[in-house]
Structure 1
Amino acid sequence: MNAMMLLAGILLLLGIASSKFSARLGMPMLVLFLAVGMLAGSEGLGGIPFEDYSLANSVGSVALALILFDGGLRTSLASLRLAWRPALSLATVGVLLTSVLTGLAAMWILDVPLLYGMLLGGIISSTDAAAVFSILRTSGVKLPERLAATLEVESGSNDPMAIFLTLGLVGIITGTASSAAALFLLFLLQFGVGAAVGIGMGRVAAWAINYMNLDYPGLYPLLALAFSLLVFGLAAVLGGSGFLAVYLAGIVLGNSPIVFRRGIRFFHDAAAWLGQIVLFVMLGLLSFPSRLLAVAGSGLLIALVLILVARPLAVTISVFPFGFRLRELAFISWVGLKGAVPITLATFPLMAGIPGSEALFNVVFFVVLVSAITQGWSLTLVARWLKLARPADPAPPVSVEINALRHVDGEIVEYTVAPTARVAGQLLRNLALPDEVVVTLIVRGEKVIIPRGATVLQPGDHVFVAMRTRIKPLMDQLFDPEAGALSFAPDLQLSFHAESTVGQICRFFGLPCPMESTVPVGSLLPPDGTGRRARLGPFLIAPGDEPDRVTLIYAPDAETVGAGNSHSPALPGDIGATLR
């Protein structure tokens, strides 16, 4: 036991150390983790014998659950709304088409029966979440929001289809699932039970985290971890997809108002890294380089068909109706990364005792290596070549957090000022910010700046803003124009200083009216009668709770009360435009 713990510590340290070389070499970390495992394996320098496919399947499932749960925690509802239609099409139709096309090629290349070729196609048909999450978030580039969301949601939700195809074909080959009714039931269970358990238990987890009132803050991340394992196991026991369930539970929990949110996310980010290291090092231990060399020729041909033919055709057919540009379709096709899921699925035929399954496993492993090295290594270059990437925002050198053991209607959010943001180059005193928003800290390079009215916000500044939670979508748009489509809540009411100018208010909301207008918004109200209102674009201007305040109410279809506009100053430009 002591020797095993020593060995585990050494492999973990090597896995972590390899992440530093990954950034310098531009190589995907999963490839380096695999390399560490292969070097430590029975045919490597370590000479560690490991060929327990059942244990590898179990450990791999747990690691993938951690990775998918963390991915769900970081998937916003806004991204999900943008991407769920094309992502769902890719996760179902795209996976099926990829499986069929690759399976037909494998049947011819390997000279095996049709069912065996289709089994291999099903195993390697899905895009791997661990690989996509890892590479997209460490690539150093930022993709358009809809494109990035589609890739992440697809990779997190396409495993049930691959599992259905793999288990269904294993059942047909072994004679345990020979009827169409049995296959249809398996399909419904994988998607239906997985989705129901994930969404339902995600809500239960959010309720439990908020109301269990734990005495020690460090227990909250562990409570979330317990629910992630519970969700995965419950869905699997009921016959559904644990992978889909744990990803959806992460999305529900990550978008719920929970206590100790930042601590939970930090913990599960570390847990996902641990899962990746353990998973890929273990899979490296499971490989035998001599066996991989024996299938190199056929494996390379199958990989080329998969990467250059099957995936692009599947993407074009399943995603073309959703309005992606040609270069975006090309990039989605290239990010068909394979990783841990195909290797884990390749253990199913081995455990079922299907003849020739060892050769099948070796081919799958070789295809994954080719995909990870070629597609993973070149992802950033392809994104730049297709002009889809911009440099990722630098990480702030400091962090600010509200650690609340009760849910509070507020948070401190860190923004990086985009060059084209509406706040870029503006004095703080010239920004009309609602009373529910305060700029608390600015970090420029390694310098901490205390905000003053004369402070100019420069591109690249890290700005920490304290705000009410409901204001966050508006602030997202103010600092980053690519934050997503702007929409206003029907009951939105915000209080501003009456001396804020029309131009400043328009800048805050992104209204199509003149920024140079210096007319105070309070002067639009008539001097007599507190019940009278004026209009500014889709907003009604009403008197505030205090004499020096006005309230802006989102009411694009409401009429002004009284003759409020009749003696308001004339304003240049179009201030009557309504945002929809």
Structure 2
Amino acid sequence: MDVQIVHEIFFMASLIFFGGMVGGAIAQKFELPDVVLYLLVGILLGPYGMNVLNVANGSLTVKLILTVGTSFILYLGGREVKIRVIKRVWVTIFLLSTIGVLISTFIVGYTSHLLLGIPFSIALLLGAIISPTDPATLVPIFKQYKIKKKVAQTVSSESAFNDAVGSVLFFTFLSVITSGHLSLEHSFVLFLKDTSFGIGIGLLIGIFGTVLISQSDYGFLKNFSPIMSIFVAITSYLVAESLGGSGFMASFVSGMVCGNKVYPELFIATTK
């Protein structure tokens, strides 16, 4: 890695951390959602403000910060989700993350087609990008304000699972634009691969991490729980993406596993 890139990452990280702390302090003082202040600080420091942070969107620095940050936020969001609650609202989560995303995509696409005058296929592609909700925005708000756990966990879970649906829609419409024809079979296979790999990898790595920090004979890393959380969040994303699955879904699921302490107790000798 070039020295200049390293300096760039360190410079951005220091400003982001300091600006985030200042924004968070102001938010606490005036009882505002801290996410709003984080966004304002980002605009102030960015190219449309003081232009202190001005990095190309596709640069390694931006990709690194966004990927690591979103993965860890999703992991933490997953830790807050209780499986017993998910069992009661799984139908709602399924409907919101599938039919809800489809409806939102069509509405955004149709509106963009009418107002902006862009081709309908490209407008639908835009809708597929915008429609999935962003857990990086929702999770911090739910942690800051008193919202019914059932509602907060439903929305947080849906915001993670709809990433798979959104990515499938995106590549489907992209295929239509580039090739001129729609392949429902390819889209269905892509959806299954995205979701199954994301959930499967998240479960496996989540169980692996939980066992290593458990109070069992295998929990020899139980004194390193914070570091294990970082390891599980990043590794889940990396492995899932490498195998063609949803990395963000894997991070979320691994957080659910660790948060609910899910592991095969039958195969683990618990220390008394």
TM-score range, shorter chain: 0.7 to 0.9
Match in the other structure for 2:101: 95
Is the contact made by 2:172 and 2:183 (CA closer than 8 Å) also made in structure 1?
no
Is the contact made by 1:206 and 1:256 (CA closer than 8 Å) also made in structure 2?
yes
Residues 1:165 and 2:172 aligned together: no
| 1:207 alignment partner, one of 200, 206, 211 | 211
Match in the other structure for 1:69: 75
Deviation string 1:82-103 (CA, Å, 9 cap, x unpaired) is: 2222112111111111111221
Match in the other structure for 1:278: none
Q: Which has the higher contact order (CA 8 A, sep 6+)?
A: 2
CA RMSD of aligned residues (A): 2.6
Is the contact made by 2:101 and 2:165 (CA closer than 8 Å) also made in structure 1?
yes
Match in the other structure for 1:82: 88
* TM superposition outliers: structure 1 runs of 4+ over 6 Å: 406-409
Is the contact made by 1:168 and 1:177 (CA closer than 8 Å) also made in structure 2?
no
Gaps of 5+ in 1: 259-405, 410-580
Residues 1:29 and 2:34 aligned together: yes
Q: How far apart are the structure 1 equivalents of 2:142 and 2:235? A: 28
Deviation string 1:217-269 (CA, Å, 9 cap, x unpaired) is: 2x3321232122111111111111111111111111211178xxxxxxxxxxx
Residues 1:135 and 2:180 aligned together: no
Residues 1:223 and 2:235 aligned together: no
- Aligned to 1:213, the other structure's residue is in SS state coil
Q: How far apart are the structure 1 equivalents of 2:11 and 2:63? A: 23
Alpha-carbon offset, residue 176 of structure 1: 9.7
Match in the other structure for 2:237: 232
Is the contact made by 1:99 and 1:124 (CA closer than 8 Å) also made in structure 2?
yes
Deviation string 1:8-35 (CA, Å, 9 cap, x unpaired) is: 3233112111012223445432232222
Alpha-carbon offset, residue 171 of structure 1: 3.1
Task: Identify the structure with the greater helix proportion.
Answer: 2
| TM-score (norm: length of structure 1) | 0.41
User: CA 1:222 to 1:408, structure 2 compared with 1: closer, same or farther past 3 Å?
Assistant: same
Alpha-carbon offset, residue 156 of structure 1: 2.5
Is the contact made by 1:231 and 1:242 (CA closer than 8 Å) also made in structure 2?
yes
The aligned amino acid for 1:166 is: F
Q: Percent identity?
A: 27
Q: How far apart are the structure 1 equivalents of 2:189 and 2:87? A: 29
User: CA 1:36 to 1:201, structure 2 compared with 1: closer, same or farther past 3 Å?
Assistant: same
User: CA 1:175 to 1:212, structure 2 compared with 1: closer, same or farther past 3 Å?
Assistant: farther
> In terms of Rg, which structure is larger?
1
Gaps of 5+ in 2: 264-268
Aligned counterparts, 1:78-477, within 5 A: 78-139=84-145, 141-143=146-148, 145-175=149-179, 179-210=183-214, 211-214=218-221, 217=223, 219-256=224-261
| 2:23 alignment partner, one of 18, 31, 41 | 18
User: CA 1:176 to 1:245, structure 2 compared with 1: closer, same or farther past 3 Å?
Assistant: farther
The aligned amino acid for 1:243 is: F
Alpha-carbon offset, residue 142 of structure 1: 3.3
The aligned amino acid for 2:260 is: N
User: CA 1:171 to 1:54, structure 2 compared with 1: closer, same or farther past 3 Å?
Assistant: farther
